[in-house]
């Protein structure tokens, strides 16, 4: 049987995995690239970096696994959602890609809401409100701020779909990633003519949209020469990173939900029919399972908050880890474990890049509340982990309010490798957390979708049943559940009280930036 290749175009790097039909990882490789922040609240990357990383990662994975390109039966794609890649009439990239975590488009979101006829009408058309991370506000921003670029646009692609174009020469996407553009009719699984018309966006700019396991194109001769793949190898639709990650976690039927602790944090629930949060605090998107949907809550600064803490305050731990050949996060976590739960009243708000769920607020900022002379770096590290857990619970409570059954909570992502962080989340949720034997995340889901496209599996649920197995369970501790219930109430009260001050600070920063 053929090997299956999954490609994940992440924010920090591209991961490639190769797996066999039983779901065993044969080989993997990751290539990193920079993220650029030329102005406050901006986040951009060069799509050429994605392609170079993809080429190198494919070749290294094949070499490490001693896999012949002829053995690869199908390719699946996934990656960071919402990013804006603009091509001109010669298929050249017009400007750096604007990423999911970019927060420059608050004014454009308000304009879109008004142009559509209000927030309620926008949710009727797209199942979602206008948020700064989404793709449509980015297009409007380019229109308003870079008109010379805007007039040259001929194609609009998402990050993974730019890599698809480089592999196959096809302009294509799939329903889960398209759902996050704010240009998509999520209920009917097609581009929204009403939204496109109101925003003045030509449907000719947009790629053809497929279901996730469908074949969207085949590797071209040019791409084959660069990557080492065989010309004609099929490439399926794949999925946005959260939908593909959910496939990799087996969240493809009612009952289980997933919690992902990556750069962002996500609570993800499968749905047979689309359901909406009345205030638009959750995303409702098409799932990578054909004909199905999912609800999703997102905290933007999950692992990102811990990375900020490491880079800003843990120079010593990074140096020691480098000398010892270990991960600095292991040292930081060991320190955090020395602090008692609740950190003697120290609470962290993980809004270091603004927030999305339940507060769609680009002006929100990270906060340490309750610092005293007794607090140490260990308390601060643990407070970061607890604050992220509280933010994920905000997402969980909204998902539960939709009536989604919560039979099992499956946890994944880099943060979930920490036993301490898993225990904190289990205690904050008051629910067991199940870990899985395979931890490759979205790339694994992309490979499973490729297997469906190649006919290795008859359906996405069958692919998951054959390959995904539990590895362990983290049970909540009753004392921790009771303590964190109190601290969660304190955490919940802080944002509403600080909201006016977040806005005030943002105005000061904006005004000073204009003056200089």
Q: Return the pLDDT at 21.
A: 93
Same domain (yes/no): 243, 314 = no
241, 277, 361, 427: which is the annotated catalytic residue? 241
Q: Return the pLDDT at 463.
A: 97
185 a catalytic residue: no
Same domain (yes/no): 51, 134 = yes
| Strand partners for 84 | 98
* H or E element, residue 341: none
**Residue 292 pLDDT grade (very low, low, confident, very high; cuts 50, 70, 90):** very high
Same domain (yes/no): 207, 62 = yes
**388 inside domain:** yes
Q: Is the pLDDT of residue 283 over 80?
A: yes
- pLDDT tens string 185-221: 999 999 999 999 999 999 999 999 999 999 999 999 9
Q: Return the pLDDT at 438.
A: 83
Same domain (yes/no): 410, 348 = yes
Q: Return the pLDDT at 513.
A: 75
Q: Rounded to an integer, what distance in angstroms lies between the CA atom of residue 60 and that of residue 57? A: 5
**273 inside domain:** no
Same domain (yes/no): 143, 220 = yes
Structure tokens at 158: 């998402």
pTM: 0.90
Same domain (yes/no): 216, 314 = no
Count of beta carbons in the 10 Å neighbourhood of residue 21:
17
What total of structural domains would you count in the chain? 2
Same domain (yes/no): 104, 196 = yes
State the chain's mean pLDDT as an integer. 95
Same domain (yes/no): 346, 453 = no
**203 inside domain:** yes
pLDDT top residue among 234 and 413: 234
What are the distances in angstroms from CA 206 to CA 135, 145, 365? 12, 21, 34
- pLDDT tens string 141-192: 999 999 999 999 999 999 999 999 999 999 999 999 999 999 999 999 999 9
Same domain (yes/no): 448, 348 = no
Q: Which domain holds residue 484?
A: 303-435+477-515
- pLDDT tens string 12-66: 899 999 999 999 999 999 999 999 999 888 999 999 999 999 999 999 999 999 9
Phi/psi region, residue 342 (left: phi>0; alpha: psi -120 to 50; beta: rest), is: left
**202 inside domain:** yes
Q: Is the pLDDT of residue 514 over 80?
A: no
Same domain (yes/no): 238, 322 = no
């Amino acid at each position: 049987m053929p090997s299956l290749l999954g490609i994940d175009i992440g924010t920090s790097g591209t991961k490639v995995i190769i797996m066999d039909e039983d779901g065993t990882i044969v080989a993997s490789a990751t290539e990193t690239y920079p993220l650029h922040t030329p102005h406050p609240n901006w986040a951009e990357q060069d799509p050429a970096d994605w392609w170079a990383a993809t080429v190198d990662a494919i070749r290294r994975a094949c070499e490490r696994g001693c896999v012949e390109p002829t053995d690869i039966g199908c390719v699946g794609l996934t990656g960071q959602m919402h990013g804006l890649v603009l091509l001109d009439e010669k298929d050249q990239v017009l400007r750096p890609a604007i990423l999911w975590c970019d927060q420059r488009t608050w004014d454009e979101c308000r304009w879109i809401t008004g142009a559509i006829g209000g927030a309620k009408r926008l949710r009727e058309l797209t199942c979602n409100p206008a948020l700064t991370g989404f793709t449509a506000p980015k297009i409007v921003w380019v229109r308003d701020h870079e008109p010379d670029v805007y007039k040259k646009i001929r194609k609009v692609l998402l990050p993974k779909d730019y890599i698809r174009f480089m592999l196959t020469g096809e302009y294509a996407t799939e329903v889960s990633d398209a759902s996050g553009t704010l240009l998509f009719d999520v209920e009917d699984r097609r581009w929204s003519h009403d939204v496109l018309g109101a925003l003045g966006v030509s449907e000719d700019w947009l790629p053809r949209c497929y279901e996730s396991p469908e074949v969207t194109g085949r590797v071209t001769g040019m791409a084959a020469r660069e990557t080492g793949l065989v010309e004609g190898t099929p490439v399926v639709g794949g999925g946005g990173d959260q939908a593909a990650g959910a496939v990799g976690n087996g969240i493809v039927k009612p009952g289980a939900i997933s919690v992902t602790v990556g750069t962002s944090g996500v609570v993800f629930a499968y749905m047979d029919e689309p359901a909406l949060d009345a205030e638009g605090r959750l995303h409702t998107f098409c799932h990578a399972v054909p004909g199905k949907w999912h609800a999703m809550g997102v905290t933007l600064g999950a692992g990102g908050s811990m990375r900020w803490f490491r880079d800003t305050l843990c120079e010593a731990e990074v140096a020691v880890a480098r000398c010892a050949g270990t991960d600095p996060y292991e040292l930081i976590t060991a320190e955090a474990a020395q602090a008692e739960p609740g950190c003697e009243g120290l609470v962290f708000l993980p809004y270091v890049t603004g927030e999305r769920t339940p507060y769609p607020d680009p002006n929100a900022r990270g906060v340490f509340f309750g610092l005293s002379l007794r607090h140490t770096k260990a308390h601060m590290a643990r407070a970061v982990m607890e604050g992220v857990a509280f933010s994920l619970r905000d997402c969980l409570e909204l998902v539960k309010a939709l009536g989604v059954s919560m039979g099992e909570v499956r946890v994944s992502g880099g943060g979930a490798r920490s036993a301490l962080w898993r225990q904190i989340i289990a205690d904050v949720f008051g629910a067991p957390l199940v870990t899985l034997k395979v931890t490759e995340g979205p790339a694994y889901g992309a490979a499973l979708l490729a297997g469906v496209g190649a006919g290795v599996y008859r359906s996405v649920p069958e692919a998951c049943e054959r390959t995904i197995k539990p590895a362990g369970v983290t049970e909540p501790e009753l004392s921790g559940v009771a303590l964190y219930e109190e601290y969660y109430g304190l955490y919940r009260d802080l944002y509403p009280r600080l909201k006016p001050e977040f806005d005030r600070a943002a105005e000061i920063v904006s005004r000073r930036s204009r003056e200089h």
